[in-house]
Amino acid sequence: MVSKKNSTPGANEPLRQQTELKEPPVVLSAVDVSYSYKQGDQSISALSCLSLNLRKNEMIAIVGQSGCGKSTLLHLLGLLDNVQSGEIYIRKEENAPPSLFPTSKLSEQERTLIRRHSIGFVYQFHHLLKEFTALENVMLAQIIAGASKKAAENNAMRLLSLVGLSNRAQHKPHQLSGGQQQRVAIARALANSPQILIADEPTGNLDESTSEDVFNILLSLCSNNGMSVVMATHNTHLCKRFHKTLRLDIS
């Protein structure tokens, strides 16, 4: 059985009241989310009645020991998996005032479009395409989304400059350090200007100094680019710098 200790204030507030708050709007909300999986004849609970709100320009850390459900939660928040009970809501930015809409009944095509345009993903392993340069890795997501090659190239160069790698644009992954590859992965995640970044242990394979550099990039994006971040991490030092922390415990 997995129990959750939620230190995120306001996680259960009624969604209809969010536009009345003076705080930044909620861009992603989980309400009473549960998820389990089969292991042989047993049903194993990964998440049970979990709720959280992510606001614009906010960074939330997801912490807990291995096996507590961090990756499962991120997959649900990123619409990679569907909830078994409860609901995931995401902000419709085109609405004024902004509103949240449920995602559990969406078709896979609709969920794909939301992931493509509203959610960016960064993982512990950068998953760069080894045959492409840093520039091409960042361009590819934009071209898939319909951007012209020239527009994709211009934006990719801007993003590589943002993460301090404009001078490495023509390098392939094997020519980059681990920290540089992860920064390319962040640039790629930002390629389609997502409002939400889902990060699963993005500093897990990096040394302390490089982890700090990567985290500072994410913090800057939150502060200056209107983006919100949910990040799973084991790094207790970095956790202190997040706006909120959600701790998942196995009991």
For residue 1, what pLDDT band results from cuts at 50, 70 and 90?
Answer: very low
Q: What is the pLDDT of residue 149?
A: 95
First to last CA, the chain: 6
Name all domains of the chain by residue range, CATH numbers in brackets.
2-250 (3.40.50.300)
Q: What is the mean pLDDT of residues 91-109?
A: 78
Token digits of residue 37? 């999986």
Q: What is the pLDDT of residue 9?
A: 42
- Amino acid at site 151: A
The residue count of the chain comes to 251
Give backbone dihedrals phi and psi of 68, rounded to 5 degrees, phi first. -85, -5
> Average model confidence (pLDDT) for the chain?
83
Residue of higher predicted confidence among 17 and 66:
66
For residue 32, what pLDDT band results from cuts at 50, 70 and 90?
Answer: very high
Give backbone dihedrals phi and psi of 203, rounded to 5 degrees, phi first. -110, 10
Q: What is the pLDDT of residue 96?
A: 52
Please name the residue that has the structure tokens 């760069």.
128
Give backbone dihedrals phi and psi of 120, rounded to 5 degrees, phi first. -110, 150
166-180 confidence digits (pLDDT tens):
999 999 999 998 889
Q: Radius of gyration of the chain from Cα atoms? A: 18
Residue of higher predicted confidence among 11 and 137:
137
Q: What is the pLDDT of residue 197?
A: 92
Q: Is residue 6 a contact partner of residue 246, using CB atoms and an 8 Å limit?
A: yes
Q: What is the pLDDT of residue 8?
A: 44
Q: What is the mean pLDDT of residues 138-153?
A: 92
> Taking Cα atoms as reference points, which of 22, 67, 36, 74 lies closest to residue 52?
74
Listing DSSP states for 187-208 in one string gives: HHHTTT--SEEEEESTTTTS-H
Q: What is the pLDDT of residue 208?
A: 80
